[in-house]
């Protein structure tokens, strides 16, 4: 059976859809429906209605990490789904910030856990991979193994009334096995797209990578990192790559030139099948 990926929320949108900074992708595999992230606010639920996507049929919600542009749509989504399991890392509840010089801004989950639970969310928090079906698995924590991929230093977490660098241990992806290779759905890939793909291969025992889709945090990447990322993706044999959200315009243009027909922009309203 095929895999269907419907992007409900993204920074940019196809004609007629609502754009909003963030990401939400509906993943449908063999009758199982998984919502990966919920965007920043109202766009995911709004665009789902336009696409005729039935959020009441969502079996699981998976959160890639605890930033507001991936969790801020939870309230609106839960009003549609009702009771549903929400899979995430325990660190999604850490108080997360972005630092600009001497200023900082809160960018963590914008709701209290109790409010979301009152709307039907049942949180399953784990650091480990979770097999949702025999074909769909969350990565759990992603090891940092490449020399050049790093977490941006302006991302922070509040600890004992002090802002400290956020290791973003909660960063995870969703992996689907297919006869053509892996489909890897990324939130922001704060731990690096290459690190994520290395981990996905080890987790599943499948080295072929059919499709990589979602946010690739290259928005402020150096040229060296772009060169090395492109080289590693090519060496890994990625057959199709659709970028979204935090990839950034410059990195997206770079990758479009590097990968040609292998590359596509993945916007709100896009539907991709494997």
Residue 139 CA to residue 126 CA, distance in Å, equals 11
Answering whether pTM is above 0.75, one says: yes
Residues 256, 250 contacting (CB under 8 angstroms)? no
> Does residue 259 lie within any of the structural domains?
yes
Instruction: Identify the pLDDT of residue 1.
Output: 63
Q: pLDDT 10s per residue in the chain (274 long)? A: 689 999 999 999 999 999 999 999 999 999 999 999 999 999 999 999 999 999 999 999 999 999 999 999 999 999 999 999 999 999 999 999 999 988 999 999 999 999 999 999 999 999 999 999 999 999 999 999 999 999 999 999 999 999 999 999 999 999 999 999 999 999 999 999 999 999 999 999 999 999 999 999 999 999 999 999 999 999 999 999 999 999 999 999 999 999 999 999 999 999 999 9
| Cα(61)–Cα(125) distance, integer angstroms | 12
Number of domains in the chain: 1
Number of other CB atoms surrounding residue 142 within 10 Å: 22
Q: Is residue 271 part of a domain?
A: no
- Kindly state the tokens that stand for 27: 């993943």
Domain annotation covers residue 262: yes
Judge whether 223 lies within some domain: yes
| Residue 231 structural domain | 3-266
Domain membership of residue 273 (yes or no) is no
In the block, residue with structure tokens 């772009």: 226
**CATH number of the domain enclosing 178:** 3.60.15.10
Residue 70 is assigned to a structural domain of this protein: yes
> For residue 90, what pLDDT is reported?
98
């Amino acid at each position: 059976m095929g895999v269907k990926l419907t992007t409900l929320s993204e920074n940019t949108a196809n004609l007629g859809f609502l754009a909003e900074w963030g990401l939400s992708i509906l993943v449908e595999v063999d009758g199982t429906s998984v919502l990966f992230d919920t965007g920043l606010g109202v766009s995911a639920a709004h665009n789902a209605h336009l696409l005729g996507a039935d959020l009441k049929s969502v079996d699981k919600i998976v959160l890639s990490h605890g930033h507001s542009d991936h969790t801020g749509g939870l309230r609106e989504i839960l009003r549609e789904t009702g009771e549903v399991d929400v899979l995430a890392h325990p660190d999604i509840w850490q108080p997360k910030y972005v630092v600009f010089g001497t200023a900082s801004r809160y960018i963590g989950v914008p709701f209290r856990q109790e409010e979301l639970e009152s709307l039907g969310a049942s949180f399953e928090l784990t650091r480990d991979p979770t097999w949702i079906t025999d074909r769909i698995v969350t990565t759990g924590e992603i090891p940092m193994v490449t020399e050049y991929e790093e977490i941006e230093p302006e991302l922070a977490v509040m600890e004992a009334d002090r802002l400290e660098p956020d290791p973003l241990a909660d960063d995870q992806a969703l992996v689907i096995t297919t006869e053509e290779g892996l489909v890897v759905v990324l939130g922001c890939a704060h731990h690096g797209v290459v690190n994520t793909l290395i981990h996905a291969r080890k987790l599943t025992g499948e080295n072929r990578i059919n499709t990589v889709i979602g946010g690739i945090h290259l928005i402020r990447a150096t040229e060296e990192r772009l060169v090395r990322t492109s080289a590693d993706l090519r060496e890994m044999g990625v057959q199709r790559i659709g970028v979204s959200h935090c990839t950034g315009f410059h990195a997206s243009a770079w990758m479009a030139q590097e990968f040609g027909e292998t590359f596509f922009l993945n916007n709100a309203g896009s539907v991709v099948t494997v």
